[in-house]
Amino acid sequence: MKRSEQTRSRAGKVLGIAFLLAGFLIAATVCAADPAGPSQIPNIFKPDSTPADSIFRLSKLVLVITSIIFVVVFSLIAYATAKFRKSDADDGSEPPQVYGSNQVELAWTVIPGLIVLVLFLATARVILSVQDAPKPPGAIEVIAVGHQYWWEYRYPELGVVTANELHVPVSDLQHPTPTFITLLSADTDHSFWVPRLAGKTDLIPNHPNHTWIDPHEAGLFLGQCAQYCGVQHAKMLLRVYVDSAADFDAWVQGQKRFAATNDAAAEGRRIFESTACINCHAVSGTVADGHFGPDLTHLMSRDTLAAGAALNTRENLRAWIQSPDSIKPGSLMPAMKLSDHDLDALTAYLETLR
């Protein structure tokens, strides 16, 4: 008898401890997961832009309130299960039969109602401040088009077209230069999500959407497509480069130039312009003006290939042209099946596109 009671109360303790640990571990690890300093972890609790920061501040309020509810209700359940456990010395009689209490019911209806009211008002403020923010005069405009499985970026006011790596200027508080992004889709649904800059907004065909970011410091911010869009949804990665004002201007000037020409790569250029490449890819100042794939005018100014799936190195570029499935199985880029010689020449040409 005695022993079985011990095991029972031990079981109760284990239950309690297990649940407590689970709750606190979540809280603790989320805070500890991202050490201070520059980090590539797209942690939603390390905001670096006003929309993400507004969300972060709201989320702190929500987390505090839900934690208090958790502790209170958890304690009630734990107390009830521990205190009202049938003892081994029980005489077998039934406990007093209680059917309910209107006062108690009223209390646990009204109090949650008040909590909901507070949460709702705090939330509504943030919805309006993020979604209906006015666009200041210095704002950069970008049109982002989601494709299976890459990102097209157009800067209509600056005359720049690029792919997969979005460059935006730092926005300081005195002279805000936020970036307002119009989100379009060329095929299926996608979602633009760079957690440290803003919450996600979907890119839906026939349904233009808008979002904005105003990063407070320079650096690289990572994210990825967050709405299932097909086979390679997983490797539709987002890279946002936040540049200082001077760097951003320099980048824009570089992107506006026509493609570099280099006689040494003439053979590669001939291959590029006489095969299927130009059906999909554009290189400004040449006959290549396809629009199904990324603009390659300044391919070498980008750090990655295939929407962030591989680093932009000579070996990866070769592999990507010859057999895209080796890097990103299911991507819509066809395998070009060139001879080694042609492949070398083509790679050499692409490497001149700086």
Residues 276-335 that bind other proteins (CB under 8 A): 329-330
Tell which one of 64, 70, 156, 249 touches other proteins (CB under 8 A).
Answer: 70
CB 270 within 8 A of CB 286: no
Amino acid (1-letter code) at residue 335: A
Contact call for residue 220 and other proteins (CB under 8 A): no
Of the pair 111, 266, the CB lying nearest other proteins is at 111
> For strand 201-203 and strand 237-243, is the pairing parallel, antiparallel, or unpaired?
unpaired
Continuous segment of H or E residues that includes residue 219: strand 219-224
CB 192 within 8 A of CB 238: yes
Residue with tokens 């403020």: 125
Distance of alpha carbon 25 from alpha carbon 261, whole angstroms: 57
The number of residues that bind other proteins (CB under 8 A) is 101
Distance of alpha carbon 322 from alpha carbon 345, whole angstroms: 13
Which one of 109-117, 268-276, 288-296, 343-351 is the stretch in contact with other proteins (CB under 8 A)? 109-117
Residues 128-167 that bind other proteins (CB under 8 A): 128, 130-132
Contact call for residue 126 and other proteins (CB under 8 A): yes
Of the pair 233, 281, the CB lying nearest other proteins is at 233
Of the pair 104, 246, the CB lying nearest other proteins is at 104
Which one of 139-147, 200-208, 242-250, 256-264 is the stretch in contact with other proteins (CB under 8 A)? 200-208
Contact call for residue 219 and other proteins (CB under 8 A): no
Tell which one of 37, 38, 95, 134 touches other proteins (CB under 8 A).
Answer: 95
The β-bridge partners of 151 are 146
Residues 235-264 that bind other proteins (CB under 8 A): 235, 237
Alpha carbon distances (Å) from 34 to 29, 31, 43, 60, 213: 9, 7, 7, 17, 22
